[in-house]
């Protein structure tokens, strides 16, 4: 267990030593919950298509595109609100379900 803690400490030190990303001045996210849900669903489906294509020995171009779109939307949300954590994902899904049932 100490070995895992030491490895994790080294990873944390490496991560802290990386330079901070500059401000890209992206436009603000108009509907945070909707974009988070879309990024999660599109990215997840794209990754599943990539994994399925890899298992079959081919490249899924649509899966690759969907994965990049989902990652791009996630980056946009993160860039617009750098104080957000991964806890926003379930909160966004619950908010979207509440909107649909309202």
| Mean pLDDT value across residues 72-77 | 94
Is 55 inside any structural domain?
Answer: yes
* Of residues 42, 35, 13, 37, the one with CA closest to residue 81: 35
Is 14 inside any structural domain?
Answer: no
- Contact between residue 76 and residue 26 where contact means Cβ atoms under 8 Å apart: yes
| Mean pLDDT value across residues 9-34 | 88
Percent of the chain with pLDDT over 90: 69
Question: Distance between CA 72 and CA 39 in Å, rounded?
Answer: 8
- Confidence (pLDDT) at 54: 93
- Confidence (pLDDT) at 21: 78
pTM for this predicted structure: 0.78
Q: 52 pLDDT exceeds 90?
A: yes
Is 97 inside any structural domain?
Answer: yes
Is 51 inside any structural domain?
Answer: yes
**Domain assignment of residue 83, given as a range:** 24-101
Domain count, the chain: 1
Burial of 67 (0-12, 13-18, 19+ CB in 10 A): buried
- Confidence (pLDDT) at 20: 83
Is 54 inside any structural domain?
Answer: yes
């Amino acid at each position: 267990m100490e070995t895992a803690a030491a490895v994790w400490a080294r990873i944390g030190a490496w991560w802290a030593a990386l330079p901070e990303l500059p401000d890209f001045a992206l436009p603000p996210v108009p509907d945070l919950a909707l974009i988070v849900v879309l990024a999660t669903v599109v990215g997840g489906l794209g990754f599943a298509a990539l994994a399925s294509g890899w298992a079959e020995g081919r490249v899924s171009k649509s899966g690759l595109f969907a994965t990049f779109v989902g990652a791009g939307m996630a980056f946009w949300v993160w860039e617009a609100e750098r104080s957000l954590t991964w806890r926003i994902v379930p909160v966004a899904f619950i908010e979207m379900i509440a909107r649909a049932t309202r």
